[in-house]
Amino acid sequence: MIDTALYSLDVLTLTLLLIALSIFALIAVRSKSVRTFQFQISIFIIIWILGEAANTLQASGIILPRDLQNFGMQIHLVSMVFFGIMLWVRFYYSEKAGKKLKDTIDNEDRPNAMQ
């Protein structure tokens, strides 16, 4: 009984992950350019979802053997490294172009700033 419920939850989790994966893949494909934030964050989320799917498959023993320790977590690590590099590169190019970031605090920009 409990095994059946856990298997059903694993199947439900995988189904929802595949739905999310297809949504973000569609968003990535519809992006106008690889340089857009929408495309880059979609790629990050796709990698993250693949890691979670691998983790679920490994925990349930469906496809991945248990010999590959923490395979899903390693994919999560790749997604976090990609996210960090993506943010760093975007920051570098915005600084190089001389653009201000939206969250920059500057007393001159605030109307009621005390001087």
Domain presence at residue 107: no
- The domain of 86 spans 2-99
CA–CA gap between residue 96 and residue 84 (Å, rounded): 18
Domain presence at residue 106: no
Domain presence at residue 110: no
Number of domains in the chain: 1
Find all residues with CB under 8 Å of 74, minimum gap 6, and list them. 51
Find all residues with CB under 8 Å of 2, minimum gap 6, and list them. none
pLDDT in tens, the chain (115 residues): 677 776 778 788 888 888 998 998 998 888 878 888 888 888 999 998 888 888 888 877 776 666 677 788 888 899 999 999 998 988 888 888 777 656 556 555 556 655 4
CA–CA gap between residue 3 and residue 16 (Å, rounded): 20
Domain presence at residue 46: yes
Domain presence at residue 111: no
Domain presence at residue 20: yes
pTM strictly above 0.85: no
Tokens of 31: 């992006």
